[in-house]
Structure 1
Amino acid sequence: MSVKYGILTLLYMQQNHGYELKLELDALLGIKGKINPGQIYTTLDRLIRDHFVSSAGVDQQERKVYGLEPKGKEELEKWLLEPVPTNTTREDFFFKWSCARKIQFHDEQRMLEQQKALIIQEVMELTQLKTEYLLAGDETKYLLTTGMLFHLDADLSWINQVENRNR
């Protein structure tokens, strides 16, 4: 997830001030994570430095308002068209498990069970959210949650395969 591109996306839609960008970015992220307000302003400073964003003045409440520059729009559109690489080895747990295997960790089974329990807990929470989003008619969050559940299902299947091979 990139705060930079989240801000560019929001400013593509309309000019806004930093706090509103933070709230909108939190909503854009939806299910996972909240952004630190300081991160918003640090990123805005860099975007201004790189001529992707400019300060468009202040609003009625004297808050600094930011707007998207043409160079920022080009950068956002370029990023949107770049495929996202798939690389399962970048995942923290896969790396941790590989390290455990390398040293023949004596508690590998417990490690797998704990990871599985965490995933199952996430599945339960996301399933509840998915239902809420469906009932609320929020198709975007419903579909994002569905995608996250598919990924978690794949992770559970992988752990089951590892456990079956260890027996």
Structure 2
Amino acid sequence: MLCGFLPSGSAMSIRHSLLALLQDRPRYGYQLRTEFEDRTGASWPLNIGQVYTTLDRLERDGLVQKDGGDGDGHIIYSITPAGRTEVREWFALPVSRANPPRNELAIKLALGLTIPGTDVGAIIQAQRAVSIRALQEYTKSRRDTAALQRPADTARVLVLDSLIFQTEAEVRWLDLCEARLMQLSNPPA
């Protein structure tokens, strides 16, 4: 499994992702969770409780309905016509950049600079090491997945490409943070 995270503000993407998966066929919660993780390369693991909470809200909003059970105690959900409309609209609209998700690392560094006694340089170094390891893991996973050359793996490759680019950008940003920190400690005469 890739070391991923679910950014804050992602509740809408989970909501719409579950609706999109239900367009294929009715499923129960665990199947939706597994299918989401399979299609995204397990980059963003879902908590099964989050899946069922989201399904309850989707049902409340009239976007899914319960179709009974499968005989093994699982409740099967299917998408409603309103849910199909919601998914079509989600796919048609670009992702808004008006309210970027919170970036815990940026917040940590910004606050660290203002809290006396905080070693921001150590925070940057520790994060850089973790980010470089993640970058190596994503790159290896992408190489292994792309080598399979199966159409179903294209979705995973796209997700991995996104994670690689984001992580590369984070490492570059950490380099910039370190340079700015050095400027602060060595102000011009």
Match of 2:179 in 1: 164
* 1:37-94 superposed Cα distances (whole Å, 9 cap, x missing partner): 2222222121111110011233364632211101111222222233223366721101
Structure 2: how far apart are the matches of 1:92 and 1:129? 25
SS in 1 for 2:96: coil
- Other-structure match for 1:63: 74
Which residue in 2 is equivalent to 1:27? 38
1:127 paired residue number: 139
Of 63, 76, 89, the match for 1:78: 89
Q: Give runs of ≥4 in structure 1 deviating > 4 Å.
A: none
Match of 1:92 in 2: 104
Q: Which residue of 1 is the match for residue 61 of structure 2?
A: 50
Show the counterpart of 2:185.
none
Gaps of at least 5 residues in structure 2 are 1-9, 183-189
Cα 1:80–1:104, aligned 2, differ >3 Å: closer, same or farther? farther
Question: Percent of counterpart pairs with the same letter?
Answer: 29
Q: Which runs of 5+ in 1 are unaligned?
A: none
- TM normalised by structure 2 equals 0.79
Shift in Å at residue 123 of structure 1? 0.6
C-alpha spacing 1:97/1:30, structure 2 compared with 1 (3 Å): same
Give the TM-score, by structure 1 length. 0.88
Moved more, 138-147 or 111-120: 138-147
Q: Verify the 8 A CA contact 2:65 2:78 in the aligned structure 1.
A: yes
Secondary structure at the residue paired with 1:33? coil
Secondary structure of 1:16 counterpart: coil
1:95-123 CA-to-partner distances (Å, cap 9, x unmatched) read: 11111122355411111101101100101
SS at match of 1:90: coil
Residue 110 of structure 1 corresponds to 122
Query: Which residue identity does 1:48 align to in structure 2?
Result: E
Higher relative contact order (CA closer than 8 Å, sequence separation 6+): 2
Cα RMSD of the aligned pairs, angstroms, is 2.1
Letter in 2 for 1:146: D
- Residue pair 1:88, 1:94 contacting (<8 A) in 2 also: no
Name whichever structure is richer in helix by fraction: 1
- How many Å separate the matches in 2 of 1:89 and 1:11? 26
